[in-house]
Structure 1
Amino acid sequence: MITGLDHIQLAAPPGTEDALRAYYADLLGMAEIPKPPALAARGGCWFEAGTARLHLGIEADFRPSKKAHPGLRVRGIDALAARLAAAGATVTWDGHLPGHRRFYAVDPVGNRLEFLEAAGAAEE
């Protein structure tokens, strides 16, 4: 019955949309997608890149999860890690997933993100 994943939603505290846009659109290069008017009134922002869709919804008593996270497939993982580090983000590499290179970082509000690339994909 399930045919695919439409989007992942993460939470964010009120008033952080500009910081989220700077991170997801400006730093990661995702496109911001307009929210339908009825949903836009709630705040937050939506982004997409390739087949990845990420919604950030506003939550008054927001607390970032320590473990839960989206896994975002990337090309050019070293360049992305360098770009994030240059912007002041902490990049934590993890070599425990066979056949992949991956690292973790957190967005401006503390959401954990995993970035991964199949081993050898950068040479293709």
Structure 2
Amino acid sequence: MAVVGLDHVQLAIPEGGEDQARAFFIGLLGMREVTKPETLSPKGCWFEGGGANLHIGIDPDFRPATKAHPAFLVDDLDELRPRLEAAGFATKGDKPVPGYARFFTVDPFGNRIELMQRL
């Protein structure tokens, strides 16, 4: 037995936050929404982009993930950073990681998001 891949990452949001999630993950990060299976709750939403799968679930006791986070690879970090900042999302650099440019931001709910570009 061995792990053969990563299927998805799930982030929690508060009840009713799906439209804000769509505006951030589709409108700013360029992901696309995919249909959830009918067997699952109609609440929440799923996104994908560049092989990354993100599931957004509703948590009635929501608290943002401020340390744990997904790290998305992007193709133009220099274009993305000012777009996020113009939309009101602060960005913050961190210690260098060899082979990558990167920074952190938060989604509309305070969940930590890392954005990386291979150099």
TM-score normalised by the shorter chain: which range applies?
over 0.9
Question: Greater share of helix residues, 1 or 2?
Answer: 1
The one-letter code matched in structure 1 to 2:89 is A
The residue number in structure 1 matching 2:40 is 39
RMSD of aligned Cα (Å) = 1.0
Distance 2:50 2:40 in 1: 23
The residue number in structure 1 matching 2:117 is 117
Helix, strand or coil at the partner of 1:38: coil
The residue number in structure 1 matching 2:106 is 106
Q: Which runs of 5+ in 1 are unaligned?
A: 120-124
The residue number in structure 1 matching 2:6 is 5
The residue number in structure 1 matching 2:69 is 69
- The TM-score with structure 1 as length reference comes to 0.91
* Deviations 1:68-116 (CA, angstroms, capped at 9, x unpaired): 0001111110101111111111011124212211000000011100001
The one-letter code matched in structure 1 to 2:94 is D
The one-letter code matched in structure 2 to 1:25 is I
Aligned residues: 118
Helix, strand or coil at the partner of 1:109: coil
The one-letter code matched in structure 2 to 1:72 is F
> How far did 1:48 drift?
0.3
Structure 1 residue runs of 4 or more that deviate by more than 4 Å after TM superposition: none
> How far did 1:59 drift?
0.3
Helix, strand or coil at the partner of 1:21: helix
The residue number in structure 1 matching 2:56 is 56
- The TM-score with structure 2 as length reference comes to 0.94
Q: Which runs of 5+ in 2 are unaligned?
A: none
Helix, strand or coil at the partner of 1:83: helix
The residue number in structure 1 matching 2:16 is 15
Distance 2:112 2:12 in 1: 11
The one-letter code matched in structure 2 to 1:24 is F
